Structure formats: structure tokens, C-alpha cells
Amino acid sequence: MKKIFLLLFITTTLLSCGREPANKKEVISETEISNIEELTLLSKGEGLELLKNNCYTCHSPQSKSHDEMLAPPLAGIKYNYIKHYPNRTKFIARMSNFVHQPTKENAVMKGPVRRFGLMPKSGLELEEIQQISAFIYDNQLDIPNWFKEHFEEQHDKPWN
């Protein structure tokens, strides 16, 4: 009987480990929550401009192929973050903590860190990064042409 439990425990641990976010630190401070709730939202134009100037150099939605990317498309990253952090405040807190201070431990996905190396720290203020993260949560992002097919191959389900 003990052996069966042990086996069950091992298989469930193994099965769940691919889906767990690497960053288990789920606690968000009261100040972080109120900052996020009081953020001034970016207009569509402001948001796109900030993404273009600060993120799309590496996370470009204009790339011609998967191989020429310097980093995963932001739409794919958003998909993963929403899976782990469907709640808007948590999503914004986690994403902006990473962008403000990227570390291997803080990354939600391990694959891209291995493939591309760790993202460099952004020079933006935390509040700006939170605004960008809120914009990413609230808006549909452009995807590169190759992305839909790549996603559907990887996940065996339609994109959107």
C-alpha cells in the first residue's frame, strides 16, 4: 500500500512539474497591490510606442521566422503568464518584477532562459514597467506571421 502511495506521489510530482511556474513567490505586498490598482492606464498609442521603443527590439512581432528571434514574442509570453497568473494584479506584479529585476529564479518560463540567455535589466522605472505590463494584459498584442502555426504545433490547439 505504501509503495502505491509513493508511486502516485512520484508520478503526480513529475507530471505537474512542467506546468508549475518557476517562481512560487506568490505574495504580493499591500503597497504593490495598491500601486497596481491606481496605475494610470496607457492609451493604445502610448502603450504601443513604449513597447516599440523598449521591448520589440528583442521581442519583435515583425520577425520573419522563429530562428531569427532574440527573445520569444510577447504574445506567447502573455499566454504563459495568464495561464499561471490569470488574476490581473498578480499578472502585472509578476511580469513587472521580472522585467525590473530579471533573474533565472524569477522567470516563469525556463525554456527561453536556456535558449536565449537571461533578459537584460530594463532601464525603465518600476511604475512605467507596471504600466507596460498592464497594457500587455489589457490589450491584444501583434504576433509574428510564423507564430500561429508554431503555437498550434507546440500546443496541439488553435491560437485564440
* Interface with ligand HEC (CB under 6 A): 54-55, 57-59, 70-71, 77, 95, 98-99, 102, 107-109, 112-113, 116-120, 122, 132
In angstroms, give the least distance from the CB of 110 to ligand HEC: 8
Which one, 64 or 115, has the nearer CB to ligand HEC?
A: 115
**Residue the block writes with cell 527590439:** 57
d(C-alpha 100, C-alpha 16), whole Å? 28
* Residue (of 154, 125, 145) closest to 40 by Cα position: 125
In angstroms, give the least distance from the CB of 34 to ligand HEC: 22
In angstroms, give the least distance from the CB of 95 to ligand HEC: 5
Per-residue cell: 133: 505590463
Per-residue cell: 45: 498609442
